[in-house]
Structures are given as C-alpha cells and as structure tokens.
Amino acid sequence: MSQKVALITGASSGIGKEAAIELKNKGFTVYAAARRVDKMQDLAERGIHPIALDVTDDESMVHCVNKILKKEHRIDVLVNNAGYGSYGAVEDIPLDEARRQMEVNVFGLARMIQLVVPSMRKNQFGKIVNVSSMGGKIWTKFGGWYHATKFAVEGLSDCLRLELEPFGIDVIVVEPGGIKTDWGIIAAENLKKVSAKGPYAQAAGKAADGMIKNYTGNQLSKPELIARTIAKAATVKRPKTRYLVGFMAKPMVFMKNVFGDRAYDKIIKMFS
C-alpha cells in the first residue's frame, strides 16, 4: 500500500501544527492547511506540504481537496482542527459574528467531510478526526456561541459515525481540555471587546482577566499532548469514539455528569 495521506485544517499553529509534525513522524504524507501558507514554512522544511485553505470559502475547500486527490489519489485521514472561540454575552454578540463562528467551527468542518468521504468510501478506508473540546460537554460563562458549535460537532460526529462505519470509515472526536495555545487569549480579547460596556461589563471583564491569567500560566497542557492523541486515533486499528484529554477535561466533565446542571453552574460561577 502507498504511504497514507493526512490532511489537517488549521495547521499553521497550536494543535494543528503539532499534529502535522506528529503524523509526519508516523510516516504519513501530510498536508497542512490554513489561510496563511507563509506561516507554515517551518513545516515545509520538515517535508510537510503547506496548502491554502479557508473553511468559510467553498471554492477554497474544493480546490484544496481536489489538489491533494489529483496528486496523491487518496486522503486517508482528515483532521478537522480549524476553529476559534467567539466569547461574549449572547445578547451582545452580533448575529453576523455568531454565523461566522458556526461557519468556521461547524459548516466548514462538515463541508470538508463531504469532500473527502467519496475517496475514502472508494478505498473502503478512512479516519475523520474532529477536534471538538471539553466545551462540547460542559459550558462556561460568556461562551454561548462557542459551546453551541462544539455541542453541534459532538452530535454531528455521532451521526456520521453510524453513517460511515459500513464503508470502513471511522469518525473520532478529540475533546481537549485547557491547552497552552493562543486560543484563550484571543477568546478573552473578543470577550472584552464585545461585552466591555453595558450590564455585563463587570462580569465580562472579570471572566476575561481570568482567562488571560489561565492561558498565560503554566498549568495548561501542551498542544503536543493533543497531537499525540490525534496521531493515536489516526493509526490504531480500532480507535475510541472519543478522546477526552488535557488539563481539567476529565474532572470538569465528571463533575457535570455526577452533580448535575445546577451544581455545575455554581462551580463555574465560583471561578468566573
């Protein structure tokens, strides 16, 4: 069999970048996709193929997948990693921004799946790894639209798993906890910008400062941990349906499941 081919979205930094390196080290031909190809020259030096991709642009997605298929004739692993967190009070966030959050985190993910599945089905093999979050199982203050996207990814992935299993295609969800990337800083900045005034200003400022402190500290897990988890899911014969990994992921989900919604709300309010 020829070398397996992996396509990773959102690969210019953080989890996506580390996953590209990890899969390359595992022997895959790796395509690292992101809007900014110039930010991936260090990956190119490792033998990874940078490729332009905007998951809000259908033409860009079609071109990306077709270019890989034309050259490699297969895509064995799709890692849907592209995404961001749009934080702010639901009342404050413009619906255009809410739609963009859905477009990037859900619809872009779904469209990439639509584009790669025909070749996977033809080969009777494929692994689709959707990077969700512990935020697809729990919630935090001011994260309404972000959590909505991740809850959607969870449900979409469960249905896909049933649909694609007969064709030899695995659907795997990776649910990171707190990871040391720029994600939290960006989300906090969005929160301050959107809800800096009005009735939520004091609570939003406190929550944003807490996020910045958390994401500039040393407690969070490194993105390499998630990258290794993605590589494991992509290479084992029978992967788990879900991998809940990273700082506070298992304790937070456990508390919500055991103690229920109201008790979980109280815990969240204590730390935000």
146 given a catalytic annotation: yes
Q: Give, to the nearest 10 degrees, the angle between helix 144-164 and helix 108-123.
A: 20
Rg (CA), the chain: 18
Give the Cα-Cα-Cα angle 127, 32, 130 (nearest 5 degrees).
35
**Which candidate in 87, 146, 215, 264 is catalytic?**
146
Instruction: Give the 3-state secondary structure of the chain.
Output: CCCCEEEEECCCCHHHHHHHHHHHHCCCEEEEEECCHHHHHHHHCCCCEEEECCCCCHHHHHHHHHHHHHHHCCCCEEEECCCCCCCCCCCCCCHHHHHHHHHHHHHHHHHHHHHHHHHHHHHCCEEEEEECCHHHCCCCCCCHHHHHHHHHHHHHHHHHHHHHHHHCEEEEEEEECEECCCHHHHHHHHHHHHCCCCCCHHHHHHHHHHHHHHHHCCCCECHHHHHHHHHHHHHCCCCCCEEEECECHHHHHHHHHHHCHHHHHHHHHHCC
Give the Cα-Cα-Cα angle 177, 158, 234 (nearest 5 degrees).
65
Return the amino acid letter for 141. K
Structure tokens at 253: 């989900």
The catalytic residue positions are: 146
